[in-house]
Homo-oligomer: A and B are copies of this chain.
Amino acid sequence: MTTTKKVTQRLTRESFKQWIQGLDAFLFDCDGVLWCGASPIKGAAKTISLLRSLNKRVMFVTNNATNSRATYVKKLASQGISADVADIVTSAWATVQYMKQHKIEGKVYMVGEAGLQTELELEGYQVSGMEHSDIKGLPHVPNIDMDTKAVVCGLDRYFSYYKMAYATACVLQIPGCHFIGTNPDSTFPTDGAIIPGGGSLVRMLECAIGHPPEAICGKPSQDLLQTIIATYELDPSRTCMVGDRLSTDIEFGNTGGLQTLLVLTGITQESDLSKIDNAVHVPDHYVDSVDVINQLQLA
């Protein structure tokens, strides 16, 4: 018996034509793929236009929970990419879908930013947490609202000890209070720096609370992938996940039977490819950037 180890392949002029003919739909991660912070990635808009001209379905699937889908429509437009709210999946949206599916209703304590609050409020949740951005330091023993039904944690650049203590107290003191993470990303690629991601905040709460969240709703959650496949009626084997992070994007696609394409414009560097120790993190193909797709089509 021989073991065949999956090896990733650079997408080349030779392999491109067969690859693109085998695909009907593309799920694009955004941060580190289409842009880094305020800086667009060259060729991103051209590549999206090209794929649409080839009659490929294009969707955007991001673990960034800080923006609403409506804000993403504007952000994409500012990069020259037209999109409808229905083309966009964020981990904030995924979290709200999870909560609805699990019949969670009422008050939510949120460690997160405006986009997450918007998505929660659109589905009728009463959200608190943002107002605590003004509290720094003590009082460190919060007087919690005992009607809180769930703590939801995502990236919050206004995070403070007070919010952490409040969230911890809710889960420890309120019987049945849910604890849900939006996404597992430990870091976040932005202009010229890698900053801590929502996953690091979830890990801190997990440590203080003493157990992990019941769900982390963004990529690589296969519940999310099944929701996407059903909603958009996709054929997994003819759908490609394009992303920059092995442990979210690539694992998400590989586990779900999608094709996977890694780009090297975000978290993962080419030197990381030889160090992958988990088969589910090996992308089918990789390219330097999304611009390569456009270039290969024109070549």
Contact = CB atoms under 8 A, between A and B. Distances in A.
Interface string A159-189: 1110011001100100000000000001100
A190 B141 CA distance: 9
A168 B203 CA distance: 15
DSSP class of A's interface residues: helix, strand, loop or mixed? mixed
A207 interface: yes
A193 B164 contact: no
Interface in A204-244: 204-208, 210
A141 B37 CA distance: 11
B158 A137 contact: yes
Contacts of A192: 141
A84 to B, nearest CB: 30
Given A133-B137, A137-B133, A208-B187, A159 B169 contact: no
Copies of this polypeptide in the complex = 2
Interface in A132-150: 133-134, 136-138, 140-141
Contact of A164 (B190, B196, B199): B196
A157 B138 contact: yes
A255 interface: no
A8 interface: no
Contacts of A199: 207
B204 A196 contact: yes
Contact of A159 (B141, B160, B186): B160
Interface of A: 133-134, 136-138, 140-141, 156-161, 164-165, 168-169, 172, 186-187, 190-197, 199-201, 203-208, 210
Given A159-B160, A161-B196, A203-B203, 17 more contacts: A133-B136, A136-B136, A136-B158, A137-B157, A140-B190, A159-B161, A168-B194, A168-B195, A169-B195, A186-B208, A187-B208, A196-B207, A200-B205, A201-B204, A203-B204, A203-B206, A204-B204
